[in-house]
A and B are shown apart, each in its own frame.
Chain A
Amino acid sequence: MSVNENAQSAAGLLRFLTCGSVDDGKSTLIGRLLYDTKAILADTLNAIERTSKRRGLTAIDLSLLTDGLQAEREQGITIDVAYRYFATGTRKYIIADAPGHEQYTRNMITAASTADLALILIDARKGVLPQTRRHAYLSRLMNIPHLVVVINKMDLAGYSMETFNAIMTDVLEFAARIDIEDLRFIPISALNGDMIVDRGEHMAWYKGQTLLEILESATVFSTAHAGPFRFPVQYVCRPRDSANPALHDYRGFMGRVESGSISAGDAVTILPGGKETCIREIQIMGNPLPFAAAGQSIALLLEDEIDISRGDMIVKTGKLPRIARQIDAMLCWLSETPLDPRRKYLIHHTTRDTKAIISGIGYRIDITTMERKNADKLDMNDIAKVSFKLAQPIFADTYADNRDTGAFIVIDESTNNTVGAGMIL
């Protein structure tokens, strides 16, 4: 196998999110990253060159790379989350590119839900704006471990260290209130490429890592791997019709390890019933594995015959999640139809669905000032603390402890649309 793949295997994959508006040069930054890591191929470049010329631009507009839909190209704005890919010798990257306008909070939440790292763009000439606070707050809300504040357009701010330091001080002031684990700052010029892949010649005063170095070295820490074992059952494999008699009694419980790890012989408890048994075998494609950990999709075979179906959860005995019929959550409302507290909604959590009623709205957060406000309904892009009463129990951890067993979506059964995203407190 090629050197390329071996090297990539070691550092795996990093998913990151870019927040900012067109004016911050976000699309240009992404274009620059792709261009400097040679992920833009010649024909794509030709196409955007043609479009740039047609629009009367003198330089290639790298932002055209990410504006995928006809309406976006017509309006010159990004309207939806776009995913981009590039790889270096060491890592594969997935960029989730979310638009920055206020009305698109839901898109940023969507992009942030799978990210390990967020890039928050600031225009060096404008400094901290209300949207900067929103982006930082939402990144924290979604529990993204690494936050990189990217101060762009340094070329238009005289590559000034003072400007950079002043913005850094402003950010630190409000960041202190939202408790961010790993916060970094970097000055760049996306247009000219300074401090992205190459250091450039204008900011010798900046001694930190380039943007690409930050991405290459960011640790993909996972509370998931160290946490308690969680295995929501997705599907039960019973190949009864098989010609192979050895498979007549086969019952494989299929799913993905959402957190923790498991070995053959481990004692497990099945929820909701609470029955206990042991792992007989861990399999993939019918072949045994000695051990499996967070992130792996496997099949579990158990010592005892227990009735288990999709929606149940297998956990290690003694380390149970909360079996909850009432939950408090931070809820982001995603639908143009406001949340109606009198209605029943459907909650989809891991592999389980349950009807839910809203037992109370605690407060709504103004995400620009971070103030708590009273609310009796929620509009699109609102974020609020909401209490739910559930028809069936779910097996939940807090979102702070576990992104996979702490998150849920809300579905409106009258349209089948996904209308809310919840993080369990």
Chain B
Amino acid sequence: MTHTLSYLSHLDWLESEAIHILREVAGQCANPTLLFSGGKDSICMLRIAEKAFRPGHFPFPLMHIDTGHNYREVTDFRDRRAAELGERLIVRSVEDSMRRGTVVLKSPSESRNKHQSVTLLEAIDEFGFDACIGGARRDEEKARAKERIFSFRDEFGQWDPKNQRPELWDIYNARRFNGENMRVFPISNWTELDVWQYIARERLELPSIYYAHLRPVARRDNALCPVTDITPALPDEKIEILRVRFRTVGDITCTAPVESEADTVEKVIAETAVTTITERGATRLDDQTSEASMEQRKKEGYF
């Protein structure tokens, strides 16, 4: 008992844990995939995968479930980053599921976000994936705070929060029968601030909309709604041009930017350290409907 682990900073520790988890997936699963959206958390996941597997290739392809309503800056970045890394990227689209008739929107303006579950399950089936690695964090949401790092899903992709496998030490049990699936979250223990500090330390490039830029928005229910072709302003709304940045990027219909002057990673870290609103609270238009909406979506097969 003479040494401490203080030679590892909190970021070193979190990174090493995530590398260990990725290598366990590679060791225990036959056909995994890493979900990569071009968002900041999955960009961190790519760097962790490089640290886990270089100089080799990743032992899994990357996959994005595209709602067709993503920002161009993000999808362009997604494609470029995958090409730079020389890794295979699979894109499966909610619009294809709509054409197949497996996704039916209640109205054309309904958010496609929750319908990603259907497309994800179809892609899992198409490629026979036995594990999907995602960049979800426990600090994002209360249901996620109780989800395992290796989260078992049944044949229907459903999460059963009351019947989770015990997960002790850092011994992970990825065993499953055919048709069942693991969802694996290597950065479960990271917070939003950890992610930004890691982006700064590793000098990771992000899609430009994560930094302050001018954008037309309309104020609606305490949020700034981006004004785009898909999300036009309502008739009585005033369109303002504000300096904003996105804290989280996803489907255009359900992610909102925040007002910000932060145009560098250092400034974003400074803002994140003093913010008074949670990441999803500020920016997700879909989680506010009900306190339990994430839990509900996960039970239906969501990431």
Type the 1/0 row for A378-420, where 1 means its CB is closer than 8 Å to any CB of B. 0000000000000000000000000110011101010011100
Question: In the bound complex, how far is the Cα of B162 from the Cα of A238, in angstroms?
Answer: 41
Q: Considering only CB atoms, which chain B residue lies closest to A69 in the complex?
A: B161
The answer to whether A222 touches B4 (Cβ under 8 A) is: yes
The answer to whether A416 touches B175 (Cβ under 8 A) is: yes
Neighbouring A residues of B175 by C-beta, 8 Å:
411, 413, 416
Number of interface residues of B (CB under 8 A): 72
The answer to whether B166 touches A92 (Cβ under 8 A) is: no
Given A238-B56, A285-B50, A297-B19: A84 in contact with B145 (beta carbons within 8 A): yes
The answer to whether B3 touches A226 (Cβ under 8 A) is: yes
Q: How far is the CB of B6 from chain A (nearest CB, A)?
A: 5
The answer to the question of A247 belonging to the interface, with a C-beta cut-off of 8 Å to chain B, is: yes
* Partner pick for A110 among B59, B166, B170, B291, CB 8 A cutoff: B166
The answer to whether B20 touches A242 (Cβ under 8 A) is: no
The answer to whether B171 touches A407 (Cβ under 8 A) is: yes
Stretch at the interface among B89-97, B118-126, B250-258, B272-280: B272-280
The answer to the question of B220 belonging to the interface, with a C-beta cut-off of 8 Å to chain A, is: no
Question: In the bound complex, how far is the Cα of B291 from the Cα of A51, in angstroms?
Answer: 10
The answer to whether B10 touches A8 (Cβ under 8 A) is: yes
Type the 1/0 row for A44-72, where 1 means its CB is closer than 8 Å to any CB of B. 10010001000000000000001111110
Neighbouring A residues of B26 by C-beta, 8 Å:
234-235
Neighbouring A residues of B173 by C-beta, 8 Å:
348, 409, 411, 416-418
Question: In the bound complex, how far is the Cα of B201 from the Cα of A42, in angstroms?
Answer: 28
Q: How far is the CB of B110 from chain A (nearest CB, A)?
A: 23
The answer to whether A9 touches B193 (Cβ under 8 A) is: no
Stretch at the interface among A149-157, A191-199, A204-212, A250-258: A250-258
The answer to whether A82 touches B9 (Cβ under 8 A) is: no
Stretch at the interface among B74-82, B136-144, B204-212: B136-144
Q: Considering only CB atoms, which chain B residue lies closest to A240 in the complex?
A: B56
Q: Considering only CB atoms, which chain A residue lies closest to B9 in the complex?
A: A9
Residues of A in contact with B, size category? 35 or more
The answer to the question of B270 belonging to the interface, with a C-beta cut-off of 8 Å to chain A, is: yes
The answer to the question of B263 belonging to the interface, with a C-beta cut-off of 8 Å to chain A, is: no
Given A43-B278, A221-B4, A235-B27: A256 in contact with B168 (beta carbons within 8 A): no
From 102 to 142 in chain A, residues with beta carbon under 8 angstroms from any chain B beta carbon are 106-107, 109-110, 113-114
Q: Considering only CB atoms, which chain B residue lies closest to A94 in the complex?
A: B189
Given A9-B9, A83-B138, A247-B55: A297 in contact with B168 (beta carbons within 8 A): no
* Partner pick for B11 among A9, A44, A114, A411, CB 8 A cutoff: A9
Q: How far is the CB of A323 from chain B (nearest CB, A)?
A: 20
Neighbouring B residues of A350 by C-beta, 8 Å:
171
The answer to the question of A286 belonging to the interface, with a C-beta cut-off of 8 Å to chain B, is: yes
Neighbouring B residues of A1 by C-beta, 8 Å:
197, 200-201, 266
Type the 1/0 row for A71-90, where 1 means its CB is closer than 8 Å to any CB of B. 10100000111111101000
Question: In the bound complex, how far is the Cα of B52 from the Cα of A242, in angstroms?
Answer: 17
The answer to the question of A220 belonging to the interface, with a C-beta cut-off of 8 Å to chain B, is: yes
The answer to the question of A2 belonging to the interface, with a C-beta cut-off of 8 Å to chain B, is: yes
Given A5-B197, A223-B1: A297 in contact with B52 (beta carbons within 8 A): yes
Question: In the bound complex, how far is the Cα of B14 from the Cα of A186, in angstroms?
Answer: 30
The answer to the question of B24 belonging to the interface, with a C-beta cut-off of 8 Å to chain A, is: yes
The answer to the question of B127 belonging to the interface, with a C-beta cut-off of 8 Å to chain A, is: no
From 141 to 166 in chain B, residues with beta carbon under 8 angstroms from any chain A beta carbon are 142-143, 145-146, 161-162, 164-166
Given A81-B146, A85-B139, A219-B4: A256 in contact with B276 (beta carbons within 8 A): no
The answer to whether B51 touches A285 (Cβ under 8 A) is: yes
The answer to the question of B286 belonging to the interface, with a C-beta cut-off of 8 Å to chain A, is: no
Given A10-B6, A12-B9, A224-B5: A85 in contact with B277 (beta carbons within 8 A): no
The answer to the question of A295 belonging to the interface, with a C-beta cut-off of 8 Å to chain B, is: yes
Q: Considering only CB atoms, which chain A residue lies closest to B189 in the complex?
A: A94
* Partner pick for A296 among B16, B164, B169, B275, CB 8 A cutoff: B16
Question: In the bound complex, how far is the Cα of B287 from the Cα of A43, in angstroms?
Answer: 12
The answer to whether A106 touches B146 (Cβ under 8 A) is: no
Q: How far is the CB of A314 from chain B (nearest CB, A)?
A: 15
Question: In the bound complex, how far is the Cα of B12 from the Cα of A219, in angstroms?
Answer: 18
Neighbouring B residues of A85 by C-beta, 8 Å:
138-139, 189, 191
The answer to the question of A293 belonging to the interface, with a C-beta cut-off of 8 Å to chain B, is: yes
The answer to the question of B57 belonging to the interface, with a C-beta cut-off of 8 Å to chain A, is: yes
Q: Considering only CB atoms, which chain A residue lies closest to B175 in the complex?
A: A416
Question: In the bound complex, how far is the Cα of B170 from the Cα of A69, in angstroms?
Answer: 24
Given A69-B146, A416-B176, A416-B177: A239 in contact with B56 (beta carbons within 8 A): yes
The answer to whether B169 touches A114 (Cβ under 8 A) is: yes
Residue among A66, A348, A349 with the highest chain B CB neighbour number at 10 A: A348
The answer to the question of A269 belonging to the interface, with a C-beta cut-off of 8 Å to chain B, is: no
Neighbouring B residues of A285 by C-beta, 8 Å:
50-51, 54
* Partner pick for B6 among A12, A247, A256, A284, CB 8 A cutoff: A12
The answer to whether A70 touches B145 (Cβ under 8 A) is: no
The answer to whether A403 touches B52 (Cβ under 8 A) is: no
The answer to whether B16 touches A297 (Cβ under 8 A) is: yes
The answer to the question of A308 belonging to the interface, with a C-beta cut-off of 8 Å to chain B, is: no
Q: Considering only CB atoms, which chain B residue lies closest to A256 in the complex?
A: B20
Given A43-B277, A242-B55: A294 in contact with B11 (beta carbons within 8 A): no
Neighbouring A residues of B10 by C-beta, 8 Å:
8-9, 12-13, 87, 91-92
The answer to whether A83 touches B188 (Cβ under 8 A) is: yes
Given A47-B291, A296-B8, A351-B27: A110 in contact with B168 (beta carbons within 8 A): yes
Q: How far is the CB of A118 from chain B (nearest CB, A)?
A: 15
Question: In the bound complex, how far is the Cα of B218 from the Cα of A319, in angstroms?
Answer: 67
The answer to whether A222 touches B166 (Cβ under 8 A) is: no
Neighbouring A residues of B291 by C-beta, 8 Å:
47, 51, 73
* Partner pick for B292 among A66, A70, A293, CB 8 A cutoff: A70
Question: In the bound complex, how far is the Cα of B269 from the Cα of A5, in angstroms?
Answer: 10
Question: In the bound complex, how far is the Cα of B23 from the Cα of A164, in angstroms?
Answer: 49
Question: In the bound complex, how far is the Cα of B177 from the Cα of A241, in angstroms?
Answer: 31
In addition to A44-B278, A85-B139, A294-B5, 7 A-B residue pairs with Cβ atoms within 8 Å of each other are A2-B269, A9-B10, A10-B9, A70-B292, A113-B169, A351-B27, A418-B166
Q: Which 7 A-B pairs give the minimum distances between C-beta atoms?
A: A43-B281, A9-B9, A68-B142, A297-B19, A239-B56, A225-B3, A234-B23
Can you report 9 A-B residue pairs in the complex whose CB atoms are below 8 A from each other?
Answer: A11-B6, A82-B145, A85-B139, A87-B191, A239-B57, A285-B54, A310-B27, A417-B165, A418-B173
